[in-house]
Structure 1
């Protein structure tokens, strides 16, 4: 290891191999985020190492930081370590009782950040004079093709370029049975409208889901710490959802 990076309170450490170029993106009390560049492969990835606080209220700042990263990064993002909370009761073997509101907070954050648990293999290393056991983790993932149903959005017709998209794609370059031609044209238009909608309006459905999840987090944050700043964040997100 040729490079060592730590967060401000010294509770999160990263040891980086010499073949990796790195840039520290965020140094926070509960999370250390580094952008790594593999020189040999020419690949970039964002790594966030987490050592979360033990209380529900203190972890809210971590959830907000994670959401901010999720909405601003455009490269692969790997996040892990110690969140001090579980995503379901089956993960807990013993100890204190599971607090459902803490589990909900964590799952809201996972959903809002569009994260997936892709850990398939974990090997515990030797514990040596410390109350945390180091882990050697192997991550694997596979691409899965998801077919989403087509949804016609009524506000599309108010956009000036809507009819142009229809005219340009309601056609076929072959002669067949009328039913086959109709199916072919409809498929072309659906595909064109889907792409046009993303380019014109963005991912509408994901934005709505994300705002609803963020509102839930801000509601909990305001309940735990009812300050003017927290009220303002909650009201702003609620207003964004109504737009």
Structure 2
């Protein structure tokens, strides 16, 4: 669930309301902690959650990031129709103030949970100011939801630079209507002269060119499509925060969700291929697992030493 090329997990702790991990950056060995939270619904149990988090913070004494469903709001404006301040709201703000945590504004919407009758911001990320020195450009954004009452919250702090991606045949192309017929037509229209091996090599080069062109103009980038659908769905979610949707907009929202599920399936197939995991059944869906396996394969492809003239060399 994390990139081991970037951070290394040192320790983990499981509590009643939280799961915490202690991390160390690979590059600069800076140590910090992250805690995932699921807060209680009952007011009388929330004090136990604060005590648990305070104990963890005092034990490790590290720069910290807390994130998850706190099941409590800070201000009246964070719940639809809320009135006066409550003791639970004051306790939440006291916890943030006591530990000097930062609470960035939520981008992309007002609330993180809603049903047909109510809406509130009960999910958020909090973090120590020291983390800003090591992870820049912090932001928390509300993403569109598909099935849950909760909106996913994305906590961002920059991106990694990547090199040029080599060409690979994508298994998801086989899901496109008429793709095999198109490939057959391309192959039969390639004409080269010389030896059979030369002809095969030339045909494969020509096929690669046509596949890349077809992917750019017809099939498209699955990640970009998915982000576009998220954006459309989020726009309707934001509108629904303030006013009911029309029947046409509800139908449009249902279409976006169906297309988003299809795009997510294509993304899973792509990660399955990259991870080279062949023993899972169709329907075993966990993109993070495939992502982890892909990174593992990349690490295994690294040559750490060679036997040269009978001597082991790592230089």
TM-score by length of 1: 0.45
